[in-house]
Chain A
Amino acid sequence: MRAEIIESIRQKAFLGLIIILLTATGLVFTAIGTLGINHLHGRLLDFSTKYQDEHIFHLYDPFNSEEILRSFLNESDAVERLMRFHERLENNPYFRYLDLNSQSIYIQDYSGPEKFVKGYEDGRADLNKPVDINGNLYRPVKGMQFSELVFTTFKPSLHSGRYFLSSEYHYQEDQPIPLILGSEYQGIYSLGDQLNIYFLGLQSRAQVIGFFNKDSYVFINGDIGYLDRQMVMPSLEFAFPALGTPIPDYLFAFYHVKTSGYVISKDLNADEVQVLINQFCRECRLTGWQIEGSHVNNLDILNLESHEFFISFLIISVVVFIFTFINIVLSLSLKIKNNLHTYAIHLISGATPSDIKKVIAAEIAFYLIIANILAASFAYLKFAYIGFNPTPLVISIIIGVLSLIYPFHQINQLNISMYLRGKR
């Protein structure tokens, strides 16, 4: 039997090659599609764990004029109340509070590319020239401040280095502030590099502890905030100065920024969140913090895009499947037709139609196995993907079974005497 199968495969081998390549192409298409859909699904899941079905509100402080700010700072325990308000926001049973901000970080003797400088994208980098701070020149670069919850919410991945440790969110004077840099900073700074920074009135040392992967992002200001050109530091927390010691100026600046983050809630609507904010304000003897919806528009576009991809892919898949299938059957029938003469001789020599059908089935199985191996190798080489994907296998079996119908019909109809007389 093995010899017959090999002989059958070797006859019109070019057609066999076409069948293998066509099947493999169809299977690669399935593999790409399955991976593509899995990828999209993964991305969407990624978003849904972040924001889908959740209400997002941006918290705004009331300091919209110099007078209001001065008047607040003149109150005796203003900073302490602000710090209590922040603690209340972070530790409440009603909603999640994202301490996420975008404040530039001043770097001493910055000599890197302009694209990192604050305002570059808007053509205002030249307005942010180096400034003299205590005898040294500092230049502001784009910066963001993340609390631990920002990392657990958006899960920006690292290319190298490490995330901030829990202890590093608490400012310690003798320790450098850790920095995680966007992917475009690679080659400009290295892990372990130390920088002198000035941030919201605080002069400190900082150390590069990691680099984000390319295209890492968070959602900020109702948009996707890519991190490639950002310098990210922890949103620092401070212990309130001991009684009698002076309150540093930077403390207000830090907590002013830290109380302008984002509220995320599944169940609460805007009115309910505002009521809670008002309550927290009252508890801390503050007034005027307001929330505003911060819907990420691009998420809608993203959802639409993935929906379009899904529909288009589904339609293309069905048509490609039919298209490929017709061509496989066409090639197969041609191959069987060319082999009919040999089959007729086998039948005369004592083989039964069932034996011939087995040879044909084995031949088709051979093509499908080779096609599957080719498709799997391609998927592995192109996507570094290897794993059990049942879809191509199921499709192979369907193609195999369906493509047997016509050749079996041809064998059943085979009239040996006519055929051997040369009539086809």
Chain B
Amino acid sequence: MRFKEFTSEEYTMSALFAAVAFLSLIFAGYISDTYYKEKLSQGYYGSNTVYIKVNDPSKQLDQKSLYAGIKDAIIFQELAGERVRAVFFRGDIEPPPLLKGRFFQEDDFFRGKKLVVIGNAYNPIVTERKGHDYIIINQEEYEVIGYLGGNEISKLDYMLMVNADAIDPGYGGVYAIDGNSKQNIAAAAQLLKNQVEKAGGSYLVIEREPRGIKRLMKNEHANALLFFVLISTFLLSSVAVNLSLYEKTKREIAIQRLLGFSSKTIVGQILRDYIFLAHVGFFLGLSVALFLVSYNKIHLSNSLAVIASYFVVILFGLLVIILPTMQALHNQTRELLSE
């Protein structure tokens, strides 16, 4: 494939693609960071976490069935407030940040293991043996598989989580259900409610007051507006570039037509050029973002944000390219030359 020689206008367009990619990445990173800090400030419970108080079941809940039924959700049972929790999950969940070690894995549950993930505050009671760390809970030894915490001091430093099947769960208590989507949380909550009813108990959904920094910062409104302004900038810019490009493209298309190029060939050539420019722009934006990440100036949320930003660039590019091209193709050659 041979690319034609690009003009300064096309390089400008590539720079705009780079800016779109970069802005999308930064904004996604910022939003994801805000979400992370909100979770961190309320003991790693999310804004959508559902809290259920289980009352008076005549027998223990069948946690194994519950475990088998949930999908992409994590269930915490508060054993001593929110600081000490029993936990199990299935599917894709967002694990808490760890200083070292690992979080639980699906095959840690209901396999007779006694595992624990602890915050820094428990360090003094950790004993090391043959390269493994252990702590004693209720006269029983648990293997420490991970240390909770991030770069900042948080509630995670005082937390302790054990795999739910390792500890006597008692008959009632507060369960917190979290997950990656409201639907998965609702489905897991419904399963828990069914289990409670099966065990002859009752439940109460607790409307726990959010205690994170979001309420204090009150920046959600500003973030939404920021997003709106960014989108508006992209759209308006796409119109501006679009018009500018039309002026340039129309003569080129007219000449190609006079030379006998078919519309298919013309569109193919334009798309090839556009794809090249969009990719140059995207990777340029991504490189700048990664450069800033390496200097710890910004955070990128995850690979999903990179993929999302890629699609934003492509969409922006389509707005920029397709419309003037279609407009130019629709017009007569004579009109294109005389305009």
Contacts and interface: CB of A to CB of B under 8 A. Distances in A.
Contacts of B215: 215, 217, 226
A241 interface: no
Contacts of B12: 326, 330
Contacts of A29: 226, 229-230, 233
A305 B217 contact: yes
Given A326-B12, A382-B225, A217 B216 contact: yes
Instruction: Identify whether the interface residues of B are mostly helix, strand, loop, or mixed.
Output: helix
B207 A115 contact: yes
Nearest to A229: B209
Interface in A330-365: 330-331, 333-334, 337
Interface in B151-177: 152-155, 157, 173-174
Contacts of A402: none
A223 B211 contact: yes
A43 B55 contact: no
A229 B81 CA distance: 19
Contacts of A305: 33-34, 37, 213, 217
B22 interface: yes
Nearest to B285: A319
A285 to B, nearest CB: 36
A5 interface: no
A301 B225 contact: no
Contacts of B241: 327, 330
A334 B26 contact: no
A217 B36 CA distance: 22
B298 A311 contact: yes
Interface string A142-179: 00000000000000000000000000000000000000
A123 interface: yes
Most buried by A among B215, B226, B229, B298: B229
Contacts of B211: 223-224, 226
Contact of B243 (A115, A306, A315, A331): A331
Given A121-B206, A309-B30, A331-B244, A36 B23 contact: no
A416 to B, nearest CB: 21
Interface in B223-259: 225-226, 229-230, 232-233, 236-237, 239-241, 243-244, 247
Interface stretch (A20-28, A103-111, A200-208): A20-28
Interface stretch (A253-261, A267-275, A292-300): A292-300
A319 B244 contact: no
Most buried by A among B12, B78, B213: B213
B296 to A, nearest CB: 10
A302 B213 contact: yes
Nearest to B299: A308
Contact of B237 (A223, A309, A323, A333): A323
Given A126-B55, A331-B243, A382-B225, A298 B232 contact: no
A120 B26 CA distance: 40
A123 B16 contact: no
B240 A327 contact: yes
A330 B16 CA distance: 12
A217 to B, nearest CB: 7
Contacts of B244: 330-331, 333-334
Contacts of A295: 153
B41 A308 contact: no
Contacts of B33: 305, 308, 312
Nearest to B155: A297
Contacts, number: 167
B229 A302 contact: no
Most buried by B among A14, A305, A313, A327: A305
Interface string B16-35: 10011011001101100110
B298 A312 contact: yes
Contacts of B237: 22, 323-324, 327
B222 A315 contact: no
B272 interface: no
B152 A316 contact: no
B15 interface: yes
A324 B239 CA distance: 12
Interface in B42-83: 51, 53, 55, 78, 81
Given A32-B222, A36-B222, A323 B155 contact: no
B304 interface: no
Contacts of B219: 36, 39-40, 309
A297 B154 contact: yes
Contacts of A228: 209
Contacts of A14: 243
A18 interface: yes
Interface of B: 12, 15-16, 19-20, 22-23, 26-27, 29-30, 33-34, 37, 40-41, 51, 53, 55, 78, 81, 152-155, 157, 173-174, 204, 206-209, 211-213, 215-219, 222, 225-226, 229-230, 232-233, 236-237, 239-241, 243-244, 247, 292, 297-299
Given A32-B229, A323-B233, A334-B244, 18 more contacts: A15-B243, A29-B233, A32-B226, A40-B217, A123-B174, A226-B215, A229-B209, A297-B153, A298-B154, A301-B41, A301-B154, A308-B33, A312-B29, A313-B226, A316-B23, A322-B19, A327-B16, A337-B247
Interface of A: 14-15, 18-19, 21-22, 25-26, 28-29, 32-33, 35-36, 39-40, 43, 115, 120-123, 126, 215, 217, 223-224, 226, 228-229, 295, 297-298, 300-302, 304-306, 308-309, 311-313, 315-316, 319-320, 322-324, 326-328, 330-331, 333-334, 337, 382
4 closest A-B pairs by CB: A123-B53, A123-B174, A312-B30, A327-B240
8 contacts: A29-B226, A120-B206, A215-B215, A215-B216, A297-B41, A301-B37, A323-B23, A327-B237
